[in-house]
Structure 1
């Protein structure tokens, strides 16, 4: 049996390499299309919210004399315990929404696990701009307001009053609670046991709760992740539970020559955009229900219009014009 000649083997190897490269490029394009599609859905939802607000503002022409004021952007409260990754989630969301590359730009103050101080922190309002199809901002209305709340007190010292203050102080339209997967077992279990109380406080405000589990790489197996998400879903009474690995400086290690370049990750981008998309869907439903309730109350409060009674002269004229049967 004759052995294949060397040029033929080279051609076969080149064809195989070209095929593998084509598959890699196709997979990358599919991922980019999925992220772009989510970003486009977010822009469309924001545009729908702005249109609904502009169409429903003003009762009996009261807003006709007012200046053209843009409606407030949808606001999402990001809360959680100290060093659980909530500020990093804000930075991750801003990076994904704006379609940024290169070094990580911080919008919220983040610190390594165990860092930071116990001093009081003010709530920060971060306006996350959504990039358009060409990578630039699509418009003034394409903004999501992320409320980076001060951390909740220690799990053992946190009370219902602290939880209510965190929610009521910001007046958000949706609440995202951040919990870390790699926390010590005792601390993590104590935080999970507080989920029913936190969930009740959020729902008492008439809002929806989303749980984000950070540091997902700490999960040693799929089974461990499934058990954790099942327990969190049960205690928080919600199916909106997500795993994510935030973008942080510490993930890339030190770089003495220049700031480290953060490589965008499809799973992180897709997850955080899905979280924002779900928040906007909840906000859209809540605004629609509030608008319907307001219209119903206005209809009940509006007095019935009195029937117009004809004057005696008109009544006599109508009687003369009536046709009597023969």
Structure 2
């Protein structure tokens, strides 16, 4: 029979190995999130550099663009109580690498659904944390503008005018449509049926559409999630569909004495940063295409210089001179 000290050594070695594996997995997750945040900073720098290069103009408009290049703008829209404002708060937390209590940038609805009061479109500037993981070390241009739009009317009463008004306000460069997974079946099916019309309106504006399915934990099985993913992708005609679990207040409400501390979730941070990275890629393509159209339009508008003496007039002038010379030499006086 092995002695007790040997068993303790084996148990200690197993515990140390398990702890090392946990620490290694945690470091890998933190490195993956940090690499995504670094890619977002590089994408923002590339957008700012492209705006500065394309703003050279002799009429003075280029100087204005060089002074303050516009930050990329992403519209967050959807139906009431589907997780729009919570997605904005989650994106701000992930971009800024925050920990501890949840800081609300957008007007999130209370637990149990939204209110019937009027909502305004709110611009939220999400600052990307610096290389050291601290928001204080971020550059001035590392900002993503998130437009927290008022909720759309119910899917049954939704019209094309409502969709166009929601997309046009604020001049967004990419549209993120939020859809709740755990919504009642009738309400969710009605919202999914309106996706083709929403997608057509977004593409008619020359923008790209991203679908975000919130409340991921409501999915009972992987098969149910896959079926919902296929249906949403087919109706919206896009492959950019993401499942996410937003950071929200608990059902008991906020504690006045001790604010609830929310633990950062790797899947939530990784997913929301992936969504922002995809939005920046779409914005980069849209800006490059708009610049190409402007350049082509300027080239077509430049008038061609007209010749001073048209060739037809010179030919007629030469013909008249030749005929007068012939008549002069053929006359009897000469």
Same fold (TM over 0.5): yes
Instruction: Give the 4+ runs in structure 1 shifted more than 6 A.
Output: 306-309
C-alpha distance in structure 2 between counterparts of 1:155 and 1:67, whole Å: 40
**Does structure 2 retain, via aligned residues, the 8 Å contact 1:252–1:260?**
no
Query: Counterpart in 2 of 1:317?
Result: none
CA gap 1:115/1:66 in 2 versus in 1, 3 angstroms: closer
C-alpha distance in structure 2 between counterparts of 1:176 and 1:252, whole Å: 29
Q: Deviations over 1:104-159 (max 9, x none)?
A: 00000111354332232110000000001112342111000000000001111111
Q: How does 1:109-124 map to 2 (within 5 A)?
A: 109-124=107-122
Task: Return the TM-score normalized by structure 1.
Answer: 0.90
CA gap 1:167/1:120 in 2 versus in 1, 3 angstroms: same
C-alpha distance in structure 2 between counterparts of 1:264 and 1:5, whole Å: 43
Task: Return the TM-score normalized by structure 2.
Answer: 0.88
CA gap 1:67/1:298 in 2 versus in 1, 3 angstroms: closer
- Note the residue ranges of structure 2 that are not aligned, 5 or more in a row: 310-334
Q: CA deviation at 1:196?
A: 0.2
Query: Counterpart in 1 of 2:147?
Result: 147
Q: CA deviation at 1:163?
A: 0.4
CA gap 1:212/1:28 in 2 versus in 1, 3 angstroms: same
Query: Counterpart in 1 of 2:22?
Result: 24
CA gap 1:120/1:256 in 2 versus in 1, 3 angstroms: closer
CA gap 1:298/1:252 in 2 versus in 1, 3 angstroms: farther
**3-state DSSP of counterpart to 2:100:** coil
C-alpha distance in structure 2 between counterparts of 1:5 and 1:157, whole Å: 76
Q: CA deviation at 1:25?
A: 0.4
Q: Deviations over 1:30-87 (max 9, x none)?
A: 0000000000000000000000001111323524765952111000000000000000
**3-state DSSP of counterpart to 1:249:** coil
RMSD: 1.9
**Does structure 2 retain, via aligned residues, the 8 Å contact 1:76–1:173?**
yes
Number of corresponding residues: 307
Q: How does 1:54-93 map to 2 (within 5 A)?
A: 54-60=52-58, 62-63=60-61, 66=64, 69-93=67-91
